[in-house]
Chains A and B, each alone.
Chain A
Amino acid sequence: MDLISNLSLGFGVAFTVQNIFLCFIGCMIGTLVGVLPGVGPVATIAMLLPITFGLDPTGALIMLAGIYYGAQYGGSTTAILVNIPGEATAVVTTLDGHQMAKQGRAGAALGVAALGSFFAGCVATIFIAAMGAPLTKLAQLFGPAEYFSLMVMGLVFSTVLARGSIFKALLMVFLGLLLATVGTDLETGQERMTLGIQQLSDGVDFAPLAMGIFGFAEIIRNLENPEARDVVRGKIGKLMPSWAEIKQSVPPVLRGTFIGGLLGILPGNGAVLGPFASYTMEKKLAKDPSRFGKGAIEGVAGPEAANNAGAQTAFIPLLTLGIPPNAVMALMVGAMTIHGIIPGPQVMTKNPDLFWGMIASMWIGNAMLVIINLPLVGMWVKLLKVPYRLMFPAIMIFCCIGIYSINNSVQDVYFTAFFALLGYILIKLGFEPAPMLLGFVLGKLMEEKLRQSLILSRGSFMTFVERPVSGVLLAVAVIMLVIALLPSINKKRDAVFQE
């Protein structure tokens, strides 16, 4: 079979001492920068580019790819331990992961995240190898109208993220959408609601927003309720997930891998939606959805698997179409061109050893990350024992440096302080930040795609229904919305009867 001969070619390339070593270094660095809030894989890969000049292209790309998925792993650690999502995809992990940590189950959360990601990574690797090329054609069916409908579906998901009132969650989504409209207008270049602040002409940045609204607002809230956090500190719990917890996590991991892997193929950064979709599905399928948001292990296992599967399959549009779906992949394009490889549909045929070597290295990288991360779980959990009066200033300084270093900008630091204030007010008022962040992430893409579709259709909204893929997605969104609203209506009735 072609697949086997291709994979053996790939493993032949990846299993050299040099490439395994580079993969290891990449994974180590990636884990480190993933754990540090703010310092993302983009900045790190850019800094390391010149260092890879001396390497052969395959080795260089294997190392850079290692940084990328290492950072995904590391990012989950920060999300679970200190409630700071380094990337949009880690937002979901904070919901139940951080709750688990607060209950003294950080070890279980980290362990399931690592094992779930490993499984998802393995499956996604095989998936890329077997189906990469044909699936590319599927991805080409996605034009602006399809992406818009997909985003609408994503917004419907967002209401499920809420622990409390769905109406308040919806309002948060709209607040997120509103924040996303700040910045230079896509079409006319006019500045919108920038208050004359130059930094805002490119819109609100994700990192200051997420770090302010999640990380710092959480710190202030913890300082407000010292009892709650000290109770947590008393019990640290096991380092590894129990057998029951693992069994509980298997179906979510399988489903998450499937959804995340599928969305990751889309060249328009569909991977962002993966964890959200997985979380929605798990909450809907659960016998007792009320556990979600309070430390349900399925809420960590599924989205983490989806995240890693999506991170992996995001290589498909890069390797088969030459189209980078996100900032890290765009950097990979740069790395490839610097090494004399022209990204595009011909990479697979012109540089088969690079193509298959990279795919094989993904599997090696995932295995390595489990080996690196499982022993680290113990260390991370011990870190939680540090008294909070020392812990929070440390988080603060890491966040400040991280935020500053993204754009070397002082304004970003001030924005973080502003969003910390906003986040704290919102928490005080009983709002939850996760739906807002999803609204913000989707909002940017949504407006772009909405306007592109309407320009292309010359103003006809029918384009969203007439195009088959888009129509199906919208229909799914409507059905989901109905299902989402039904139980809440029932529940309200129950509550009334109980009174």
Chain B
Amino acid sequence: MTDTDIPAPERSSARSYRLTEDIAAGLFLALIAAFFLWQAWDLPLGRLRAMGPGMLPVSIAAILGAGGLMLALAAFLKGGPILTTPHVRGLFFILGGIILFGLLIRTMGLIVAGPVAMIFGSFATSEVRPVEAVIFALVMTAFCILLFKYALGLPIPVVAFM
């Protein structure tokens, strides 16, 4: 590759290369299939009379991978809608909120995990109103403690740090 091959920025966005939804979709599935094949490779396949643990994972992964490649190839030839950019803000705060809940529920209890996860998660939208989010999180946590711990009697740690 030489310097002259690098397209000008204006050009690159439109024509020279298009990652369509289905090309990405096919490749993504092929990737998953490859991962499973790698993981299941060492499992014995067995015979039909007594199928081994590897028989089904390997064959299903092979079908999935082949199908994924077919999808990608067909989309490469045919074209299709272009992949849109992901909503990073939503992903970060929602997934982060869930993970914070997981980190805090056993170490601190619901009384901390609930508000922290909810307030953090609230920032997934640009419409967030911080004061409202904090108040709402506290009220909801109190409600959840009453509902899950006392009304339903689930063994959820409420205060774990004492």
Contacts and interface: CB of A to CB of B under 8 A. Distances in A.
Is chain B found bound to chain A in the same assembly? yes
A231 interface: no
Given A410-B106, A413-B105, A455-B50, A396 B39 contact: no
B112 interface: no
A213 interface: no
Contact of A396 (B36, B71, B117): B117
A171 B133 CA distance: 40
Interface in B83-128: 83-84, 86-87, 89-91, 94-95, 97-99, 101-103, 105-106, 110, 113-114, 117-119, 121-122, 124-125, 127-128
A393 B40 contact: no
Interface of A: 32-33, 36, 39, 43-44, 47, 167-168, 170-171, 174-175, 177-178, 181, 185, 187-188, 190, 192-193, 195, 216, 219-221, 223-224, 226, 387-390, 392-394, 396-398, 400-401, 404-405, 408, 410-411, 413-414, 416-417, 420-421, 424-425, 428-431, 447, 450-451, 454-455, 458-459, 461
B25 A178 contact: no
B156 interface: yes
A417 B91 CA distance: 10
Nearest to A167: B71
9 contacts: A187-B51, A220-B124, A221-B87, A223-B89, A388-B125, A400-B98, A401-B114, A401-B156, A428-B86
A424 B91 contact: yes
Interface residues of B, number: 74
Interface string B61-81: 101100110010000000001
B159 to A, nearest CB: 15
Given A33-B152, A397-B141, A392 B124 contact: yes
Contact of A390 (B50, B97, B136, B156): B136
Contacts of A430: 21-22, 25, 81
A187 B50 contact: yes
Interface of B: 21-22, 24-25, 28-29, 32-33, 36, 39-40, 43, 47-54, 56-57, 60-61, 63-64, 67-68, 71, 81, 83-84, 86-87, 89-91, 94-95, 97-99, 101-103, 105-106, 110, 113-114, 117-119, 121-122, 124-125, 127-129, 132-133, 136-137, 140-141, 144, 147-148, 152-156
Contacts of A192: 39-40, 43, 53-54, 57
A44 B152 contact: yes
A185 B117 CA distance: 36
Given A32-B152, A388-B125, 12 more contacts: A39-B148, A175-B29, A193-B40, A223-B125, A389-B128, A393-B136, A397-B144, A400-B98, A400-B113, A414-B99, A430-B22, A455-B49
B148 to A, nearest CB: 6
A171 B29 contact: yes
B43 A398 contact: no
Nearest to B63: A174
A447 B55 CA distance: 10
A428 B155 contact: no
B99 A393 contact: no
B61 A195 contact: no
A4 to B, nearest CB: 40
A139 to B, nearest CB: 26
A421 B95 contact: yes
A171 B84 CA distance: 21
- Counting from the closest, the 8 A-B pairs by CB-CB distance are A459-B49, A185-B53, A413-B102, A429-B25, A224-B87, A223-B90, A417-B98, A220-B90
A421 B118 CA distance: 18
B87 A187 contact: no
A58 B24 CA distance: 57
A334 to B, nearest CB: 18
Nearest to B84: A428
Contacts of B114: 397, 401
B39 A195 contact: yes
B48 A47 contact: no
Given A220-B87, A421-B91, A188 B40 contact: no
Nearest to B25: A429
